[in-house]
Amino acid sequence: MKRLVAVLALAVAAMAVFIVTQARRLPPRAVLTVAATVDTTLPPAPLATGDSASTAGAADLVSVRTSSLPPPRRDLAEIQRRLTDGESGTYIREILLQRGDNNARWPDRQLEPLRVWVQPQSDIADFDRSLPERVRQAFDRWTRAGVPVAFTFVVDSARSDIPVVWVDKFDMAISGRTRWTHDQHWWIVGASIELALHHQSGSPLGGDAVAAIALHEVGHVLGLDHTMDERSIMCARVRVSDLSPADEHTAQLVYSIPPGSVVNP
């Protein structure tokens, strides 16, 4: 009995050492530990139109709307082969787990770029005139990741596909929020972004953190979801300032298969 107790005590001590060691490995940098979008705690989005259904999805705020887009050409065996061949070095399985095994993406929009409007001015304290350009750079950065989606920046918010607006802060520990809508085929058909200028506590986020959050939110716009990998911009708590190879490869894989279920019904 005494031996059992001793073994258990040793195991607990070893676990404690392991936890402390792991904790020390985390980067001490606080700059970009900005509590991005812990989305699963968000309440359902207000409905934009009467025929929408809304859920607080694993990725920010998701709603469903019927569209007239044609259904994608789907070959389940081919979809599963591409996933198996391409999943190494990606977090596609984490995304599919959060989506009930559904892939969400825009139709190819290289020839007809998505129109982005970034609010150019704000009276909110600590707004910096350089911020809108940093948001535009976030969109351009994802374009270079190799997805078949182009963006163009428009000056008329009413004619945009993706408005980006500034908010003072959120009433929860997030710094950005993306609302996006998919249709009956899981084509993404609309999105909007809100970016905070302050932490929930009221302290300013700063330009670097805002730029990182913008990158994270554009990832949501493209159909990506969260990963546990802290080296990636799609980690719920953003700790990096650029896309990781996993971010790029995951986005490429999302756009190498059609939208909708990746498993047998």
Nearer to Zn ion, 135 or 154 (CB): 135
Contact 128, 166 (CB under 8 A): no
Name the pairing type of β-strands 149-153 and 109-118: parallel
Q: How many CA atoms lie within 13 A of 69 on its CB side?
A: 20
Measured distance CA(134)–CA(91) in Å, rounded:
26
Q: Does 192 bind Zn ion (CB under 5 A)?
A: no
Handedness of CA 68, 187, 59, 172 (dihedral sign): negative
Nearer to Zn ion, 79 or 236 (CB): 236
- Candidate segments 13-21, 31-39, 156-164, 250-258, binder of Zn ion by CB under 5 A: 31-39
Measured distance CA(216)–CA(21) in Å, rounded:
29
**Neighbouring residues of 154: CB distance < 8 A, sequence distance ≥ 6:** 115, 116, 117, 160
Measured distance CA(141)–CA(168) in Å, rounded:
25
- Candidate segments 1-9, 15-23, 35-43, 249-257, binder of Zn ion by CB under 5 A: 35-43
Residue 177 Cβ, how far from Zn ion at the closest point, in Å?
8
Q: Which residue is nearest to Zn ion (CB)?
A: 37
Q: How many CA atoms lie within 13 A of 122 on its CB side?
A: 20
Look at residues 76, 29, 65, 95 and name the one whose alpha carbon lies nearest to residue 182: 65
Q: Does 232 bind Zn ion (CB under 5 A)?
A: no
x-or-dash string of contact with Zn ion, 167-186, rule CB under 5 A: --------------------
Residue 58 Cβ, how far from Zn ion at the closest point, in Å?
9
Residue 93 Cβ, how far from Zn ion at the closest point, in Å?
17
- Candidate segments 8-16, 37-45, 104-112, 161-169, binder of Zn ion by CB under 5 A: 37-45
Nearer to Zn ion, 54 or 227 (CB): 227
The identity of residue 248, as a single letter, is: E
Measured distance CA(265)–CA(245) in Å, rounded:
32
Name the pairing type of β-strands 53-55 and 149-153: unpaired
Residue 44 Cβ, how far from Zn ion at the closest point, in Å?
16
Nearer to Zn ion, 172 or 263 (CB): 172
Residue 39 Cβ, how far from Zn ion at the closest point, in Å?
5
The identity of residue 185, as a single letter, is: H
Nearer to Zn ion, 37 or 63 (CB): 37
Total residues binding Zn ion (CB under 5 A): 1
One of 32, 35, 37, 90 touching Zn ion (CB under 5 A): 37
Nearer to Zn ion, 34 or 262 (CB): 34
Nearer to Zn ion, 37 or 54 (CB): 37
Residue 241 Cβ, how far from Zn ion at the closest point, in Å?
16
Look at residues 90, 61, 83, 86 and name the one whose alpha carbon lies nearest to residue 261: 83
Residue 24 Cβ, how far from Zn ion at the closest point, in Å?
27
Q: Kindly list the residues in this chain that would bind Zn ion in the complex (CB under 5 A).
A: 37
